[in-house]
Amino acid sequence: MFGVMLGTLKQFTAAERDRERQESYQHRREVEQRIEESVKREQEQMQRDITELAREKKRRQAEIVALETQMQLVETHNAWRRSTEQLRGSIRTLADSHPYRLYYRPRQFCDRARRRRELSARQIDAEIADRDRQLREDVERALKEAEAAGEKVALATGKGEEASVVKEANQSKPEPVKRLLSSVAVVPQQQQQQQQQQQQAAADSAEKPSGSRHNSNSPS
């Protein structure tokens, strides 16, 4: 009787040990599986981050190139603007057949020459204002096209969250755009009046006999 009870106890003990080993193995497998899934998710996230960083780097480089190109256009325009503003005190020829306008300053200004000088100054101001407006429109259009191209690439090559990252990056750059647009020199009205007054005074002084002999052979 005692032997039977002892054998039954050993069987229960062995079964309990097997159950504990099985539970321990199952628990270990679940932990390992969770670790593997976590590592896999981290690797996938890291790969997405690397891909997004590479895409963002290319987009930023393209943006920098576009901004540098626009800045060169702005600098060229401002150089033309400064040189053109210096011609306000001169008279511009009326012939439209020649590809280039000719400017001259008579030794002495008669009434007719003064009227033509004022007309030339107004024409120069209008031309400068038109070129300023055209340049600003070109810069704004080029920047909008660059932003639209960046969003299109993101939507075509990435998922929604990647597209949102690129869109957010596009929205976070108003400052360089403002700096670029503000670099288009637009002289305020008061400053224009001061420049015109100074040039008018210089031109009036040139009417005196002791004035400049520049272009003395030009028609009056």
C-alpha distances (whole Å) from 138 to each of 5, 7, 132, 155 are: 99, 96, 10, 26
**How many CB atoms neighbour CB 220 within 10 A?**
13
Q: Are 109 and 207 in contact (CB under 8 A)?
A: yes
Q: Is the pTM of this model over 0.95?
A: no
Residue 187: its pLDDT value, please? Answer: 43
Rounded to whole angstroms, how far apart are CA atoms 34 and 49? 22
Give the chain's residues under pLDDT 70.
Answer: 1-10, 12, 95-99, 149-220
What are the φ and ψ backbone dihedral angles of 91, each rounded to 5 degrees?
-105, 130
Residue 9: its pLDDT value, please? Answer: 66
Hunting for tokens 């890291």 — which residue is that? 46
Give me the residue spans of the domains in the chain.
45-206
Query: What H or E segment, with its residue span, contains residue 103?
Result: strand 103-104
Residue 214: its pLDDT value, please? Answer: 40
**How many CB atoms neighbour CB 48 within 10 A?**
14
Rounded to whole angstroms, how far apart are CA atoms 207 and 46? 77
Question: What size, in residues, is the chain?
Answer: 220
Residue 173: its pLDDT value, please? Answer: 45
